[in-house]
Amino acid sequence: MADRDGVIWYDGKLVPWREANTHVLTHSLHYGMGVFEGVRAYKTPDGTAIFRLQAHTDRLFDSAHIMGMKIPFTKDEINEATRAAVRENNLDSAYIRPLAFYGSEGMGIRADNLKVHVVIAAWHWGAYMGEEALETGIKIRTSSFTRHHVNISMTRAKASGHYINSMLALQEAVSAGADEALLLDPEGYVAEGSGENIFIVKDGVIYTPEVTACLNGITRNTVLTLAREQGVEIVEKRITRDEVYIADEAFFTGTAAEVTPIRELDGRQIGAGRRGPVTEKLQKAYFDLVTGQTQAHAEWRTLVK
């Protein structure tokens, strides 16, 4: 990742990609206190557009606020910097990674003398689980690792350290031959994937866990909006893993994962074992929206030029 051409926005300046470095005593590297976003830009008929930029910037600032980090830039400056990171790398579609982290001014966990740095990098990144997964669906496994408790980690924050739990779960799932993990909350109810929100469909109704142990996903919100517009009934409630086993359809949502069908959980086929009709319709509506094939929700697409 480090050895490539291009530029990275770093504390207000565009610096050459290979020179966007930080010291080994960077505080966030040691304790995981950093906040970040995953954003995507898509090619649209009007030019390259960042999808739901304001929502991502708002969540970045909310995450920082929760963690007590003060981002030394305004939201408008971060929005402009995000546009610049895509534009100045000449990307027509991109995955964008804003990150705010503590510098190397001190090492104590008191963290009272630290500078907050912000970087925004953008590069081309295709389908997170491969193009095929978007069509055929993925196999997932219930994780032995519990998702965060609301009073241990702050689940509304998209914080770097939270992803230790995600990585443990994903490593375990992959080593067991699955594509992704399903994490349960501390009470045993379905929470989310290692980097995705989960939905199931049963008898034409869409169910998804309430936002407690899971991240308040922006794609989750987009898909709920699309489902409402399609007239599909939505219920946000606690879901058990066996409800997923007997669902007609299941899918993950996320900026990286987009709308990825799930065809199997713990060796049990879900529904027909492939992308179901409700999932397919929502997935198509999602891709039409992000790529500007529809005029709907034009305010969600920010052109980079």
The two three-digit tokens of residue 70, written as one number = 């003060």
| First-to-last C-alpha distance (Å) of the chain | 25
Binding mask 133-162 for ligand PMP (x = CB under 6 A): -------------------------x----
Query: By C-beta, is 184 or 215 nearer to ligand PMP?
Result: 215
Q: How far apart are CA 74 and CA 71, in angstroms?
A: 8
Query: By C-beta, is 38 or 292 nearer to ligand PMP?
Result: 38
Nearest to 74 by CA among 94, 60, 95, 93: 60
Sole window of 132-140, 218-226, 241-249, 292-300 interacting with ligand PMP (rule: CB under 6 A): 218-226
Compute the least distance from the CB of residue 158 to ligand PMP, in Å. 6
Query: By C-beta, is 7 or 260 nearer to ligand PMP?
Result: 260
Compute the least distance from the CB of residue 98 to ligand PMP, in Å. 12
Tell me which residue has tokens 């699309």: 226
> 239, 213 in Cβ contact below 8 A?
no
158 is catalytic: yes
Nearest to 180 by CA among 194, 167, 190: 194
Q: How far apart are CA 182 and CA 195, in angstroms?
A: 10
Establish if 218 lies at the interface with ligand PMP (CB under 6 A): yes
Establish if 262 lies at the interface with ligand PMP (CB under 6 A): no
Catalytic choice (43, 70, 75, 158)? 158
Where is 287: in which H helix or E strand? helix 277-290
The two three-digit tokens of residue 46, written as one number = 């009007």
Establish if 259 lies at the interface with ligand PMP (CB under 6 A): no
**Contact residues for 149 (Cβ-Cβ < 8 A; gap 6+):** 185, 186, 213
Nearest to 114 by CA among 18, 23, 36: 23
Q: Which one of 34, 98, 209, 217 is in contact with ligand PMP (CB under 6 A)?
A: 217
Binding mask 219-258 for ligand PMP (x = CB under 6 A): xx--------------------------------xxx---
Binding to ligand PMP (CB under 6 A): which residues in 80-99?
A: none
Binding site for ligand PMP (CB under 6 A): 38, 158, 166, 192, 195-197, 214-215, 217-220, 253-255
Q: What residues act catalytically?
A: 158
